[in-house]
Structure 1
Amino acid sequence: MTEQTMSPPGVAPARTGVLTTFAEFEHWWAQRHQAGRFEVDRIPFAELDAWRFDPATGNLGHESGRFFTVEGLRVLTGGAIGRAQPIIHQPEIGILGILVQEIDGVLHCLMQAKMEPGNVNVLQLSPTVQATRSNYTQVHRGANTRYLEFFSGARRGEVLVDVLQSEQGAWFWRKRNRNLVVKVDGEVALDDDFRWLPLPLVHRLLEIDNLVNMDSRTVLSCMPPAGNEHPASPAPALHSTPEILSWFTDAKTWCDWHARLIPLREVGGWSTTADEIVDDEHRAFRIIGVRVAAGNREVSRWTQPLLEPRGKGLAVFVTKPIDGTLHLLVQARPETGLLDLVEIGPTIQLSPGDELSAIEHPLLREVASGRLGKTRFSTELSEEGGRFLRALADYRIVEVDAEFFVETPPNYCWMTASQLTKLLRHGHYVNIEARSLLACLRSLAG
């Protein structure tokens, strides 16, 4: 079914399927909320349909062997047995794809109003295609994934971005998704839940709490800034790209630990009850079960486990001009679930439940508390709603003066946004939180 765009009073009609102003977007977004039928209810594990605890390992998985499992993870430091926790193991690689098209000389993105069971506000702005391999191969026996044909096969358009990127290393075991941007020409038949939005408007929407979802942000970050794909004279940078790569490689050698999967029943300090998998101190996340009804999804009803964090996370880019060019202070951040142990993260990154005291450097604690620097961007954004329940984080960009961190600690480095963007041509360099902030930085440029 397709829908003609109805403009609200005082708003000029737009070309069918193209929303050019914020007012037009607001009207369409309200329509999608009114048209949807969404329910998410907590249920005990015994009511999960086709999900079972393995009697030998204690792992929670789907009877098809697909989707994902909840398993255990143990950290080993220098041969000593360290902490353990549950973790989501989803080995299959999904597709996160945005279809783009030049309309009246402006690049537009085909974006989706998509319901995810873990979203704090039900609907969020999602990529054209956001699907796990289990979903788009129809393990759930549901409808086809819409617009998938533009990202593979004979109808595939011009590929602008195609790269495997990681997701949360604290909650996922070596999770990767294929980030794609594909350009097409000509008319595309639009479903009600999809609209073409100008890229500058998408960047503007990042300033609204919990609107642009995590999967959109990671793909947006991988897109080269318009007009800057091949600058004639790159802006001066404090460090050359070879110097940055050497610093990053060196940081990986500092890790004296490794992590491995273990049976969930061997994770100490955690308990499995009829309703949740929970840490005994009630400080970390927990795993719960939900029943979902969504009228506009490939499957209208299903049950599944979700990871529910306690509290809210924090991700901050500290920025300052160096020799007239804006630089970002990044850190080489290890996380237990990352494939390559270490990725480049934001200046400050706290998981839900972490205290400010977890930030080692006093100047960075001052930034995190809001007592130091000028906040240029501040928005609450959601993490992935398909596996996490109401996982929220404050995302900030804070500008400091020239005297801040003249000499950086060993695990920190000043980079330009252009240098960070170029690293996104490759996987396992930049973590999901830093990618989200890089997308947010583009909203300031507009």
Structure 2
Amino acid sequence: MARSALSDAATAERRSATLGWLADRARERPMTVRRTPLDELDGWRSDPATGTIRHHTGRFFSVEGVEVRVDGGAVPCWRQPMLNQPEIGILGILTRTVDGVAQFLLQAKVEPGNPRGYQLSPTVQATRSNYTGVHNGRPVRYLQHFLQRGGHRVIADVRQSEQGAWFLQKRNRNMIVEVGAQVGAEAGFRWFTLAEIHHLLAVENIVNMDSRTVLSCLPVGVDAVPARDRFTAALQASMARTDGRHDMMTVLSAVTEARTSTETRTRPVPLRETTGWIRRDGRIRHESGAFFEVVGVDVRAAGREVDGWSQPMFAARGRGLAAFVVNETSGVLHVLVQLRAEPGLVDVVELAPTVQCTPATLQSLPALPAPPLLDLVEKAPAADVRFDCVMAEEGGRFLDTETRYTVVETTDPAEPPGYLWVTVGQLQELLRHSHYLNVQARSLVTCLHSLSTPAPRRTL
């Protein structure tokens, strides 16, 4: 892994070649996405009694209404549409070792919601409906390595949550499986070193969300990586430590206490009765114009499992912000995470970024309280910003939805209520298990991994 992170192949020329490869795939296999009224989506039906939007097969996913009650919350009760996708899909990356260097197989894949077209996706990125052939489409390549793992070494295999504000108890199986050096890259796939991936993380909208969440589960070792400065040395020390200001039992107990004491109740309600949401002009939007919209799209794509389809999608109203605030203590970098409840999470609370919000929503609805440390992140001097890049969220369900992922260093070691200072090693240990870090935090862990090696730190 260390050799992979230090690979000489991670040059500007190699990065440019990858971007050119993605552009070539876009020309060879274009995708067109056209907005379509929800009532005109081919294969989708709205229940006349509830308004719930479902596929005619009963598979894939549905758009349903929920009511959320949070005792003691800043907003104690609200209703909203949510995506219900009970299937557990596979997000899997193959790895192999060639000449002592680990490589990872990623594919050039386009999703209808991608703001920049083709991105680097996992080797396999498929819902159960996809890989069991509900759509009568082409088979998913490399799937057998994840379903039939005899003779392969499993590096990571864990179920993880997705966006708990929009998905109702959605989980995917995050997997990394080692195969032999003889496994090649088919058309549309390429082997990458960790260094190459770390370089590409600094390019806007290139490494997709599913790749980021899988790579966060990778047990990255940095013992052989030379530290280039104070920050890198503190980060590497943090990655090697599963104890810090709090030991692991204290961290686990804090999560359990938050899950036990947080009274969050989510119940289904008819989509037609989601107070504050308006279905008009072929879409569903909030009366304030904030949060997100439910829209329909008609897709035509060459080279996918099927050549065309229609579907509903969620489209955020404004760019999200997900930030880790970090602080060095006694030569060890610590990350400030919050114990965050979200209505769609399986177990109520997961560890989340220090700041996770949509600033445009806060501006349009000033009655909503701003999260702690938002000012620190938004007004941080450039010298304190260790990582800063805009990345797309999952393009299969979210249309043109982006988040600014950033890591900001502070000299203030204060720990607000509901937050914990933890080491990166503790986060990595928790990622061996399900439902401890939310999807935004997992993306940021992968960004932190990229900072431990000689890769660019700012947007390219």
With the length of structure 2 as denominator, give the TM-score of the two structures: 0.87
CA distance in 2, matches of 1:223, 1:333: 24
Q: 1:312/1:233 Cα in 2 relative to 1: closer, same or farther (>3 Å)?
A: closer
The match for 1:48 is 41
Q: What secondary structure is seen at the aligned counterpart in 2 of 1:150?
A: helix
> Hey, what's the Cα distance between the residues in 2 that align with 1:234 and 1:434?
18
2:21 to 25, 28, 31: 28
Quote the residue 1:255 is aligned against. Answer: 262
- Residue identity (%): 46
Q: What does 1:24-423 align with in structure 2 at a 5 Å threshold?
A: 24-78=17-71, 82-153=77-148, 157-226=152-221, 234=241, 237-351=244-358, 353-355=360-362, 358-361=369-372, 363-370=373-380, 374-401=384-411, 404-406=412-414, 408-423=415-430
Secondary structure, counterpart of 2:361 in structure 1: coil
* Cα offset, 1:141, TM superposition: 0.6
Q: How many residues align?
A: 424
**C-alpha deviation, 1:330, in angstroms:** 0.6
Which residue identity lines up with residue 288 of structure 2 in the other structure?
E
Per-residue CA distance 1:7-51 (angstroms, 9 max, x = gap): xxxxxxx9xxxx993244234233222212210001112321110
Aligned-CA RMSD value: 2.4
Secondary structure of 2:441 counterpart? helix
- Which deviates more, 419-428 or 363-372? 363-372
Aligned equivalents of 1:56 and 1:247: distance in 2? 43
Contact 1:292 1:303 in 2 (8 A): yes
CA shift in 2, pair 1:227/1:367, >3 Å? closer
Structure 2 Cα separation of the partners of residues 168 and 93 of structure 1:
14
Alpha-carbon separation, structure 1, partners of 2:314 and 2:135: 21
CA deviation string 1:66-112 (max 9, x = no partner) = 00000001012459982100000000000000000011211110000
* Contact 2:222-2:452 at 8 Å conserved across structures: no
In structure 1, the residue corresponding to 2:147 is in which secondary structure?
coil
CA distance in 2, matches of 1:251, 1:322: 26
Counterpart contact for 2:300–2:309, Cα < 8 Å: yes
Offset at residue 253 of structure 1 (A): 3.1
Gaps of 5+ in 2: 1-8, 225-236, 454-460
Deviation at 1:257, TM superposition (A): 2.7
Q: Distance in 2 between matches of 1:273 and 1:389?
A: 19
Q: Is the Cα contact below 8 Å between 1:309 and 1:352 reproduced in 2?
A: no
State the shift of 1:244 in Å: 0.9
Q: Distance in 2 between matches of 1:355 and 1:154?
A: 47
Instruction: Kindly indicate whether the alpha-carbon contact (under 8 Å) linking 2:296 and 2:310 is maintained by their aligned counterparts in 1.
Output: yes
Q: 410, 419, 442: which is aligned to 1:435?
A: 442
1:35 alignment partner AA: E
Whole-Å Cα distance in 2 between the matches of residues 309 and 364 of structure 1? 20
Tell me the distance in 2 between the aligned counterparts of 1:236 and 1:88: 37
Cα 1:156–1:288 shift into 2, 3 Å:
farther
Instruction: Return 303-312 or 46-55, whichever deviates more.
Output: 46-55
Counterpart Cα distance in 2 of 1:303 and 1:267: 24
Moved more, 337-346 or 75-84: 75-84
| Structure 2 counterpart of 1:445, from 430, 452, 460 | 452
State the Cα distance separating 1:55 from its structure 2 match.
1.3
Residue identity in the other structure for 2:378 = A
Decide whether the 8 Å contact of 2:81 with 2:271 is kept in 1: yes
What whole-Å deviation, never above 9, does each CA across 1:398-426 have from its counterpart, x for those lacking one? 1112xx133x1220111000100100111
Kept in 1, the 8 Å contact 2:242–2:429? The answer is: no
Q: Which runs of 4+ in 1 moved over 6 A?
A: none
Q: 1:100 to 1:20 in 2, by over 3 A?
A: farther
Equivalent position SS for 2:253: helix
Cα distance change, pair 343–300 in 1 and its aligned pair in 2 (3 A): same
User: SS of the counterpart of 2:257?
Assistant: helix
Mapped partners of 1:154, 1:371: distance in 2: 48
Query: Do the aligned partners of 2:242 and 2:426 also contact (CA within 8 Å) in 1?
Result: no
Amino acid at match of 2:347: D
Q: 1:287 to 1:81 in 2, by over 3 A?
A: same
Write out per-residue CA displacement over residues 305-345 of structure 1, whole angstroms, 9 at most, x where no aligned residue: 11011001000001111111111011101111111111000
Deviation at 1:373, TM superposition (A): 7.1
Q: Separation in 2 of the partners of 1:273 and 1:235?
A: 52
Q: Separation in 1 of the partners of 2:370 and 2:381?
A: 15
CA contact (8 A) 1:73 1:261 kept: yes
Q: Structure 1 stretches of 5 or more lacking a match?
A: 1-13
| 1:350-391 Cα deviation digits (max 9, x unpaired) | 036432773343x54232333597001000001000000011
Alignment check: 8 A CA contact 2:319 2:359 kept:
yes
Separation in 2, partners of 1:184, 1:233: 26
